[in-house]
Amino acid sequence: MTVNVEALLREALAPVEPPVRLGEQLETKLASLTELAQEELDGWELAAMRDPRNWVRPVIAASVAATAGTALVALRVRGSHRNRVHESANLLDLAERTLQDIAEETRRVLPDR
């Protein structure tokens, strides 16, 4: 009995596309986290920041907003990558379009900033 290890590895390591619904759920969660963190930051008054004990919640909210916002922008920009590749004439054009999409998505995620 001969086992073809190479064929088994190729089959086991074959790329798997995640379901479309998973991407939509992730985007919804990231958008929700970003909005909640922004609301938490908007509710804080500068006068309350004099006491270092009050710094924990705003620091956590800022960290969540930055992390979730960055992930949301990356997810959305990555989702439209194929369209940009087909629309681009060369590598420089692709890089410019990608940077424009990053700026546009960042404005969507942080509209008041």
Q: Give residue-wise pLDDT tens across range 18-75.
A: 787 888 899 999 999 998 888 888 877 776 777 788 788 888 988 998 999 999 999 8
User: What ranges in 1-113 are assigned the alpha helix state H?
Assistant: 5-12, 20-42, 56-79, 81-87, 91-109
Amino acid letter at 103? A
Q: How far apart are CA 1 and CA 3, in angstroms?
A: 7
Task: Tell the residue number behind the tokens 């909640």, with chain if given.
Answer: 36
Q: How far apart are CA 69 and CA 29, in angstroms?
A: 11
Cα angle for residues 21, 26, 27 (degrees, 5° grid) = 100
Summarised one tens digit per residue, pLDDT across range 72-86 is: 999 889 888 888 888
Q: Is residue 13 very low, low, confident or very high in pLDDT (cuts 50, 70, 90)?
A: confident
